[in-house]
Amino acid sequence: MKQPLHKFLIALTSIALFLPEISAAEDLSVAESLRERIESATEILDLSIDNQPLNSQKDLITFYSDRQFTKAWLANGQPTPQAYQLMQILNSADQHGLNKSNYHVTAINERLERLKAPLNESEILILSVDLDLLLSDAFLTYGTHLLQGQVNPQKLQSKWDTGRRATDMVKILSDAINTNSIEQSLNELMPKQPGYRSLVQALADYRAIKDRGGWPSVTEGPSLRPNEKNPRIIELRKRLAASGDLPNDTVLDSKEFDQPLQQAVKYFQKRHGLEADSIVGRATLEALNVGVDHRIAQIRANLERWRWLPEDLGARHIMVNIAGFALDFVGNGEVLLHMPVIVGKTYRETPIFTGSMTYLVINPSWYVPNSIAVKDKLPILARDPYYIERNHMKLYRGWGANRTEINPLSVNWRQVNPNNFPFRLVQKPGPKNAMGKVKFMFPNPHNVYLHDTSEPSLFNRVDRTFSSGCIRVGKPFALANLVLENNSRMTPDAIREAFDQSDQKTVTLLNPIPVHILYWTAWVDLEGVVQFRRDIYNRDDELIQKLQKSF
């Protein structure tokens, strides 16, 4: 936790007693030295200290040029209160899952200590210039990380394309210095969404668990079931008590799988996206034995993902969590509708991006994407050309008005391969249509959309990676009602009539709705419960490794 600012000011006063004073002439020398250092690096961007390049070189050059190379963090040879306030913030960077070693904390502290010793004018000059540059670079780098994240999601193997926030960091720094608002200026750069703040608190809570020794593992063995007795149940009790899933006042040395323990296991299973049956089988045991260090790393990775989001998600927006198999329709900060979803298979991952829903189609046809046609349907057609008729499909050659319907029985399917597939498959509206009764369109380069399904039983599964990339929604009609509410030229009666019929109907939205397809493996739900999910697409490890690396 942060210490009150007045304590740091007291510490500043005591430190200042040891610092040598610098005359006005020497202040000018610092400015001249800053100018020379900046100008020498302007063309080749070679600003470095201790053989380490500074992170925000272009912004540093602009910042100091704009202020005529005057110092930002020193006055009369002494660090200003703002400098110590910044150091206090940087030392707390881990509260946001960021590594303070990226912000020159060690180098700055070393120079503050060296300033206490007797020094000649040349030594003071070099230390002062170094210190000012380090503090400015630390502010710019830390602020940028709060604003956009430490890792560029475009450089990850699985890209995150949601439109990151941007601002003029030089202006932010200048205004913070001029108005003495270091802490406020940096706080305003972090994500505003409640989900981010809740996850920051979860990070603190799990670090506290780690400080208490973490949690023990549960020995491998047969499934543990309600009402049985087993020595491993003592391990289970201690494990759940350490993470707060089992109340602390519960007896921990009992071998009996009693009712309170059953409830604790079920609670643990729910918040880890497991089958909530109170049975400690393979999947539950695996989740129990994930260490607290990994959970902390997982939280840090998801805090970083929050920093990749746009500033404004939209007053009314749809948020899909791929790893959580869930969709939320949010209106003015309130979740108006929550539902399960089905996402892409592990070899046909649903991409991460932001789109804008502009229309929906009632009773849609399914124009089978070529990738699905050649990978999934062609092997079936080679064995059974009647598949097309049975599934209310039509086969075409060509596109648009020039397309020609083909009798699938006239095709020698064994001679067709993915490289010479000239056809297009279209499934007519109806009960067997893969799109179900409605699809929600937000045009995007991935050709991904939300839609109903002809296989609603799949929503009963815990792990729902069954689609070819698009997202099947568990409550399509409730979603359509919210999407179309005061948002279409069609009357509610006309909309209901369209759903009752079998003809295809396109409904344009008066106001587009932002759709955010995201990937959270750790978050805090509306009840304040920390949720974890299995990393279905193996996207956490790459991000965790990059976050652990220093610049």
The tokens for 251 are 């007896």
Pairing of strands 74-75, 334-344: unpaired
Closest CA to 237 of 224, 221, 259, 253: 253
How many CA atoms, within 13 angstroms, populate the side-chain half-sphere of residue 403? Answer: 15
Check: CB of residue 394 under 8 Å from CB of residue 426. Answer: yes
Active site residue 96: no
Choose among 503, 452, 245: nearest CA to 341. 452
d(CA 333, CA 327): 15
Using CB atoms within 10 Å of the CB of residue 486, give its burial: 0 to 12 exposed, 13 to 18 middle, 19+ buried.
exposed
SS (H, E, C) 257-305: CCHHHHHHHHHHHHCCCCCCCCCECHHHHHHHCCCHHHHHHHHHHHHHH
> How big is the CA angle at 548 (ends 547 and 551), to the nearest 5 degrees?
80
13-21, long-range: CB within 8 Å, 24+ apart, which pairs? 15/79, 15/112, 15/116, 16/78, 18/115, 18/116, 19/77, 19/78, 19/79, 19/115, 19/116, 20/77, 20/115, 20/118, 20/119, 20/124, 21/76, 21/77, 21/78
Give phi and psi for 451, each to the nearest 5. Answer: -160, 160
Which tokens belong to 155? 């450089």
d(CA 53, CA 56): 9
Is the Cα torsion angle 489, 490, 492, 496 positive or negative in sign? negative
Please tell me which residue in 96, 272, 317, 451 is annotated as part of the active site. Answer: 451
| CA 423 – CA 395 distance, rounded (Å) | 7
- 451 tagged catalytic: yes
104, 145, 470, 516: the catalytic one is 470
Q: What are phi and psi of 195, to 5 degrees?
A: -60, -35
Helix (H) or strand (E) holding 358: strand 352-362
Q: Catalytic amino acids?
A: 451, 470
